[in-house]
C-alpha cells in the first residue's frame, strides 16, 4: 500500500477541512504516531477541493524518487552477493580443512 508521507508535519498543522475529511481511525493513528503517512487510497477518496488544500510536501511519495529506489536496490543486491560469497568462502575453507584432516588420518592409519 502506497502512502503519502507526512514529512515532520504535525496533524494539527493540517487545515481543519483535511482533518475532518480523514477517517477517525487514520487521524487517531497519526496522532498516536502509529502512522507517519496518509495512505494514498485515503487521499484518492477525498474530494478534489480537499486534496488541493493538502500541502504539496505531504503528497510526495517515496516511490517518486527513482534514484533513491535504484540506490536501495543496488545496496540490497550487493548485500546479498556479499552474503553468498561469504558463505561460499567459509564452505571452501571448511572443505580444505576437512580434506587435510582426512588425508592426515589415512596417512597415520596406514603407517601402523
3-state helix vs strand vs coil in the chain, percent to 5:
75, 5, 20
Q: How confident is the model at residue 112 (pLDDT cuts 50, 70, 90)?
A: confident
Query: Rounded to an integer, what distance in angstroms lies between the CA atom of residue 34 and that of residue 28?
Result: 9
Q: How confident is the model at residue 82 (pLDDT cuts 50, 70, 90)?
A: very high
The residue assigned the cell 487545515 is 15
Q: Which helix (H) or strand (E) holds 41?
A: helix 40-45
CB-based burial label for 40 (10 Å; 0-12, 13-18, 19+): middle
Q: What is the pLDDT of residues 20-66, one digit of tens each?
A: 777 778 778 777 777 666 766 667 777 777 766 665 555 545 455 67
Whether the CB-CB separation of 43 and 6 falls below 8 Å is answered with no
Q: What is the pLDDT of residues 57-74, one digit of tens each?
A: 555 454 556 787 788 889
Angle made by CA atoms 50, 33, 42, in degrees to the nearest 5: 30
Q: Is the dihedral of CA 63, 66, 67, 69 positive or negative?
A: positive
Q: Which helix (H) or strand (E) holds 82?
A: helix 66-111
Amino acid at each position: 500500500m502506497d502512502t503519502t508521507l507526512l514529512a515532520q508535519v504535525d496533524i494539527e498543522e493540517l487545515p481543519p477541512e483535511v482533518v475532518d475529511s480523514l477517517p477517525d481511525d487514520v487521524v487517531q493513528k497519526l496522532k498516536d504516531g502509529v502512522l507517519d503517512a496518509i495512505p494514498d487510497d485515503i487521499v484518492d477518496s477525498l474530494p478534489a477541493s480537499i486534496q488541493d488544500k493538502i500541502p504539496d510536501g505531504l503528497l510526495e511519495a517515496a516511490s517518486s524518487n527513482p534514484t533513491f529506489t535504484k540506490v536501495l536496490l543496488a545496496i540490497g543486491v550487493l548485500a546479498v552477493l556479499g552474503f553468498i560469497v561469504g558463505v561460499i568462502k567459509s564452505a571452501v575453507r571448511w572443505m580444505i580443512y576437512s580434506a587435510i584432516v582426512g588425508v592426515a588420518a589415512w596417512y597415520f592409519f596406514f603407517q601402523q
